[in-house]
Structure 1
């Protein structure tokens, strides 16, 4: 079946109003939950086969998150979908007012390769809960996970409700050439621009989950050992291939030596003397990304790591010493297990570096000075962040997750996902027992009364 035919069948199915039925949505999600639990072992194996992700990381960063998200949707979809009363305007007296959450219709979800299962099924669950049909495009760079995703969806859903389109750039281009009611994309900034341009052709609303150079600041009051431990975890999980991983460190000069020692010790604790032999350290996804990262290491000084093996797509957990802001590693998002360390002395030094880059997806501050942390949080625009830890804000489904500016558009997780895939439709219900004549022509002599009503309303 061609892509236009798939889309047309989904439009026809959506027009039947079946997906708007709350019981249908819940049953669909319950079937999905049952199947993803049944296939968890297969999902974890696929993740390992694609880039040697350990079972523990697979559960922590992929399967458990999806299971939690689907359960949240099942538990709350009835209340979320119920029209919400709001205060009516006095000008409309007598009346009541409600906000209706209605599905957009036919939606496209384009998933990335770095968390190929989680970042496909988490938005999918919200799109289904909101009552949409979905075409899911998994990444061709993780073929084993893509196959599992397709098998699960084919077993659970009517293809007119949810279907998977596999393939590479040609298939993505053809999908983007269609007219959708909503597009949800997770990936790089350059591809995000392509998606936004395609969506603009039909004024299609979009969510773009992108990335950027996310700073991690360690001031002179920080708990250095704990900071090193948490940064090693947040940076090198998934082999550094995480959009919200710390992209570069800005550390107070007086703490540099202590931090480097603690950081090196934490790498050894986590992955051993030789991380290449560790079962817990993933590989770079493919040769293209390995070569891109390897180029960043040229002519740099290493404080830790720096070892590579192209045959295995392996790059060790690496800490770089004071790279130039004009160097390859500081030009754009790294998206790998390489962490530049840059020292600073005065607070103004931070601004001169951070302001060089576009608004990041994440922002991290390690400090024991609450006033310093609050100041930075207010001063800089970013998608989301954490004080005295890294990446953990992602795990709270009560917080919206998303970027701003170059790092993305829109947010999701939990109810925020449901809202993302729902159009909020405002409706006023007028009473017929009274009809105040103020608004009707002729207007002579009514202006004072109108002003009074406007002040009161």
Structure 2
């Protein structure tokens, strides 16, 4: 089914109507928020099969992770909403006054979803925004077209239109949308677009949460169980064909362990997908021609600058790129200049642990660092490495109670003791 784009002329009124709705204070009621979460829960269950078909069409993979984790987020917020939104006792200038912090909803928020997990990474922040008491504009990624269409049908059927509205479109529609004033913008995607979001938000001094990515390293040490590390790295790198913000982007490995690591990674891939990945129903595809062409350029550069020791095959018509291992990699090579978001695994070898740490610390902040070591001294030293959304990998956080805090303003309240007047 073709995704129907929202007319740009309709966007200002959609946002204005949600602002008007927020000012009625309906969403202040915890019971009203729970009603909306229950409706979302019913919608997710009813559309589970449709989401499975859509994600298979968009990415050639299962929808199990998207649906199960979104369902968990809804249940967590339903079960703990009273606790998570309760007033928090605080101290003030005069202890005889009553002082507390109340989480107040921000207002009308914009959530821009991602194409790699099109259901989960759109619904998960929406759950937090609703639980916090906001009205929401949801912009699914048009790249995962079938998933966006299915998500739109579900939300239109189950959600109160005075609380949640969906806007679909590409660059033009998103540009118009970003001209509107929101009370928070939540974006999941890449760093270049994150800069555009932040620039647009700055015109209205709108706070943002940017869930980006970066070049997340895996650090293999002398004290690593190579078989275990290889299995985990191989799983990460083949999940969704490497189109995951937390996936291992590159590996740092002692020179003498590189061959053993490669052998075990390849063995894991064959165990997962058989000898011919192309014919496997389980091996995912690249989401679009645009992304395929981008990754193909990376592969071409790797063939010139590095050494492809496994994989390297692709089929444009099938959006298929074989899991690929690249060696003889340096920090200056093209393959190390930006997040890969692809089933390509570069390996950089090193001589000393300090050398490996220096390589990581010279990169922009990544979303996570994967250290494989049984040596506690090395684990303790790893505490200084970057972790989480900082700089190029984003800002802010969510999940569980942090989702509600992201979409709330912690308002200080003081009730004066009459004796102090």
Q: TM-score range by the shorter chain?
A: over 0.9
**Deviations for 1:292-324, whole angstroms, at most 9, x for unmatched residues?**
111111223222211111111111111111223
**Structure 1: unaligned runs, 5 residues or longer:** 384-402, 436-457
C-alpha distance in 1 between matches for 2:20 and 2:299: 53
Separation in structure 2 between the aligned mates of residue 283 and residue 348 of structure 1, nearest angstrom? 37
Distance 2:265 2:43 in 1: 41
What is the match of residue 294 of structure 1? 296
Question: What is the CA-CA distance between 1:379 and the residue it aligns to?
Answer: 1.9
Question: Offset at 1:411?
Answer: 0.2
Counterpart pick for 2:81 among 62, 68, 77: 77
2:276 pairs with one of 271, 274, 277? 274
Please show how residues 46-445 of structure 1 align to structure 2 within 5 Å: 46-53=54-61, 55=62, 58-59=63-64, 61-86=65-90, 88-89=91-92, 91-298=93-300, 299=303, 300-376=306-382, 378-383=383-388, 403-434=389-420
Q: Deviations over 1:51-102 (max 9, x none)?
A: 211x3xx20x21000000000111111222221112x23x324212111011
Give the Cα separation in 1 of the matches to 2:327 and 2:230. 15
- SS of the residue aligned with 2:210? strand
Distance 1:284 1:328 in 2: 20
Give the drift of 1:326.
Answer: 2.2
Mapped partners of 1:257, 1:27: distance in 2 = 56
Q: CA deviation at 1:406?
A: 1.2
Whole-Å Cα distance in 1 between the matches of residues 286 and 394 of structure 2? 24
The whole-number CA distance in structure 2 between the counterparts of 1:47 and 1:126 is 23
* TM-score scaled by length of structure 1: 0.88
More displaced stretch, 116-125 vs 323-332: 323-332
User: Do the aligned residues in 1 keep the contact of 2:221 with 2:353 (CA within 8 Å)?
Assistant: no
CA distance in 2, matches of 1:410, 1:183: 11
Q: CA deviation at 1:223?
A: 0.4
Q: Name the SS for the 1:192 alignment partner.
A: helix
Deviation at 1:125, TM superposition (A): 0.5
Secondary structure of residue in 1 paired with 2:362: coil
Listed one character per residue, the Cα deviations across residues 144-189 of structure 1 (whole Å, up to 9, x for unaligned) are 0001111111011222210100000011101111000110000110
| Residue aligning to 2:34 | 26
Structure 1 pair 292–161 and aligned structure 2 pair: CA distance change class (3 A): same
Please say if residues 368 and 386 of structure 2, whose CA atoms lie closer than 8 Å, have aligned partners that are also in contact.
no
Structure exhibiting the larger radius of gyration computed from Cα positions: 1
Residue 122 of structure 1: CA displacement?
0.3
Cα distance, 1:276 vs structure 2:
0.8
Q: Is the 8 A contact 1:6 1:160 kept in 2?
A: no
Q: How far 1:434 sits from its partner (Å)?
A: 4.1
Correspondence for 1:398: none
Contact 1:220 1:254 in 2 (8 A): no
1:4 to 9, 12, 27: 12
Partner Cα separation in structure 1 for residue 246 and residue 324 of structure 2: 17
Give the whole-Å Cα distance in 1 for the aligned partners of 2:420 and 2:296: 75
Tell me the distance in 1 between the aligned counterparts of 2:295 and 2:411: 46
SS at match of 1:246: coil
CA distance in 2: counterparts of 1:269 and 1:233, whole angstroms: 11
User: Partners in 2 of 1:80 and 1:348 — Cα distance?
Assistant: 42
Q: Distance in 2 between matches of 1:250 and 1:289?
A: 26
Q: Secondary structure at the match of 1:2?
A: helix
3-state SS of the aligned residue for 1:108? strand
Alpha-carbon shift at residue 254 of structure 1 (Å): 2.1
Q: Is the Cα–Cα contact under 8 Å of residues 295 and 328 in structure 1 kept in the other structure? A: no
Moved over 3 A (4+): none
